Structures are given as structure tokens and as C-alpha cells.
Amino acid sequence: MRNLALTRAVRISPCPAVDASIKPPGSKSITNRAIVCAALATGVSQLTGALDSEDTEVMIDAWTKLGVNIQHDKPEAVLTVHGCSGKLPINQADILVGNSGTTIRFLTAALAACQGQFRLDGVARMRERPIGDLLRALQQLGCQATSDNDLHPDCPPVMIQSPSGMLGGTAHVAGNISSQYLSGLMLAAPMARQDVCLQVDGELVSVPYVAMTSSVMRSFGAEVSGPPTGPIHISATKKYSGTTYAIEPDASAASYFWGAAAITGGKARVVGLNNSSLQGDVKFCEVLQAMGCEVIHADDSITVAGGRLKGIAVDMGHISDTVQTLAAVALFADGPTTVRGVAHNRVKETDRISDLARELGRLGAKVEEFADGLTIHPPQNILAAEIETYRDHRMAMSLALVGLKSNGIIIKDPACTSKTYPGYWEDLQSFSTCRIDRLD
């Protein structure tokens, strides 16, 4: 199922209650953070369990274009990175990042902290995704980084002209659009000439991702202090050092298998994650528990067993990448489910509120949409439907779960899952024993 580039759609056929174990591929979020630290470090790093996907490939390709030596052993899931000690071998480049938000935000900050002239750009959707708050924070730290987009000011392309790198000092960054702005600044801060203090203005979304950034940075020798919501202090004297670093399985990807257990009334054991994971998305299990599932924690696994599902009201601001998975589960619940606190989902790969509401409507659900979320009223009978995915990997992977229980579910553009999970369709098929047919 991996060669899906020319496949128009796939049809999912219902399956019995799932009862299986799986270890998802490595975390995209951790992989891309670790690549930045390793690339800027002094010495050689080995990143084990690294994710091989479109989002990680564009990050690797960018650093390679900048002269950083990275070897990728894909069968063994190992990246060997020869760090540049903060001095890029190539200090002038045009870099394309596709639609990878982590890549453009982390690279913008990292390259602004190094010396050189760079232009970062992506696909058409990337040119609609905001980055202005990050640019203004970099300017406060003495960097020269601006938007080169007349149609959508404050969006990519990004121009960096950084003859002196990052000075340091104090910067304020908005927290309500994306935690990746703050994480990008943090990752770049050890390269500054003076210590950096980052103040968060307003409520910070996706707080666990900032805690993840701190943890990864410390593993490479950086000195970071302060809570994720700020102020965060980063020492300019503690630079990154090469190390061996193990990357956890992806918790966002795990949500699809836990969701499969909830929808089919079965059992899904995800290996390699536990309640102490760096990734906040393991808390998705608590949402399923509130809906009526049983959750079993072990030292090296989390198991979800399905039960009678009931609708809930939940703020998912800190685990917003799992909203679409919850939406699929909510179609099978007794009563409505309301999600709030995810206004920032509107500026991701697609508008993950309006576009999600539209696709749930195709399935027969009545959906009330808010600025920061939606209420899903499940239908009496789920309708057969062809689901648009909007080039959004999470739309495809999440709404495919509906087909495990209901007939006639077709997912368009299945190849879009390669952004974070190229092997998703094979894994879903073997895990659930469902049938997945290509529709060319």
C-alpha cells in the first residue's frame, strides 16, 4: 500500500473488534527537534528510532543543503548527524520545506541565529500559515528575519539576512497561534551571544510540546530553566554537544489505534509509550476514558479497551492534533461531543475546524462550529461517503477509522499520509484485519 502516489482513493471495509498490539514509527515532533539540536551541536549524534516521513525528510534535506553531514539508515531508523558547532558550512541558500510547519518555524529561528542569508518557502498552503509572531520575536533578539509575502503579510516566504546571528536578551512571543514559535526560539537560543529570556504573551497552546522541547535540548547539553508557559531562560554558554538519543514512538499516530479500539469495541495495545512520555498526546487516552473506554498503563505500553461510548465536552488545546481522531470516535457515541480550545487548528495543514465539520456532515452528523471548536451530534446511521482530505494527513488517518465500523467509507488522496506516517495503510490493515482497496 505504500506506492499510493497515483491512487485516487481507498475504500475501508468494516472489521471485527480489534485486538492487537502495535509500535508506531518514531515521533515526528521529537525527531525534528533532535535533528536541529544535533545539527547545531559540536560532535556527532546518533538519533535512534527516527521517523522516516515527508516532514522529517524536508528537515534533513534542508540541513544537508546547508552543508551538514547527515546519514540516514532508513531500515534501522537511525540518523547520524555530524554537527556544525553553530557555524554553517554554507551560509547562503534557498530552502523549500513543503507544508512542514515544524521545519519552517524551527529553521527560521535556527538560521537566524547563525550567520548567513537564507530564504525559506513552501507549498501554497504554507504561504497562508502565519509566522509573523516568530519573526517579531527574533527581531527583538537582534536577528534580521522578515516575511516576503505581499498577499499574506506575516506568512512565508521568510527572508533571513543575519550577518551577526542572534544577540540574545529578552523577547516576547504570542502563545495563542502555535507553540512552535516558542519551541523554535528555544532551540535556537543556545547559539546566541548572550543569555535568552522568552516571555509568553497570552495563553500558550499545546503546552506539552514546549516541555518536550526543553527535555530534548537538555539531552544535548543545553541549559533551560523555567515553566513551559514562561518566562523561559536559556544559557548562551551551554552549547549543544553530540550524543546518542532515542526517539519515542509517535503518540499522535498512536491515537488512531486507540481510536480504533474505541470505535470497534476492541482492544489496542501501543508499545513504546507510557504515562511519562514526552508527548502530550498520550493524554488522548484520558479523553477516551471519559467517553467510556478502559485505559491500562504499563511500563512500556498503553492499552485502550473499548466500551459503551458517551459524548463529552472537552478542552483539547494541549492535544489539538488528536481532535480529528476524537471526531471519528464521537460519531459512535451516545449524545453530542463538544471540543473547545483549538482555534489554532484553523491554521494547520488545513482548517481543521471548518473542513472537519464539512466532512463529518458528509457522514450524516450535525455539526455546530465555533471559533475555537465544534459540537458533533452523531447521526442515527452513518452515511456512506467519499471523504475529502485537503492534503491533510490527519484528516485521512482519522476519518479512515469510521470505515472500520461503517460501510461505504472512501478516503481520497491516501498518499497524503506520507507527511508523517508513510506506512499507515499497511499498519491499519494488519492491525485491524480490515480490508483496504485501492480506487485508481
Residues with catalytic roles: 321
Question: Could you give the CA distance from residue 160 to residue 92 in angstroms, rounded to a whole number?
Answer: 10
DSSP string, 28-67: HHHHHHHHHHHHHSBSEEEEET---SHHHHHHHHHHHHTT
**Apex CA 145: angle with CA 181 and CA 85, to 5°?**
75
Cell numbers placing 263: 470505535
Question: Could you give the CA distance from residue 128 to residue 390 in angstroms, rounded to a whole number?
Answer: 14
Question: Could you give the CA distance from residue 144 to residue 375 in angstroms, rounded to a whole number?
Answer: 43
Relative to beta strand 385-387, strand 409-412 is parallel
Relative to beta strand 232-234, strand 224-225 is antiparallel
Angle between helices 207-219 and 179-188 (to 10 degrees): 20
Name residue 70's beta-bridge partners.
81
CB 388 within 8 Å of CB 409: no
Relative to beta strand 158-162, strand 145-147 is antiparallel
CB 236 within 8 Å of CB 229: no
SS3 assignment, position 297: strand
Residue type, 108: T
DSSP string, 391-406: T-HHHHHHHGGGGGTS
Selection from 375, 381, 383, 409 nearest residue 395 by Cα:
409
Cα distances (angstroms) measured from residue 401 to each of 63, 264, 325, 342, 345? 36, 9, 8, 22, 20
Cell numbers placing 415: 498518499
**Element housing 308 (H / E):** none
Selection from 269, 337, 341 nearest residue 305 by Cα:
269
Question: Could you give the CA distance from residue 21 to residue 430 in angstroms, rounded to a whole number?
Answer: 10
CB 301 within 8 Å of CB 274: yes
Name residue 338's beta-bridge partners.
313, 375
Question: Could you give the CA distance from residue 222 to residue 170 in angstroms, rounded to a whole number?
Answer: 18
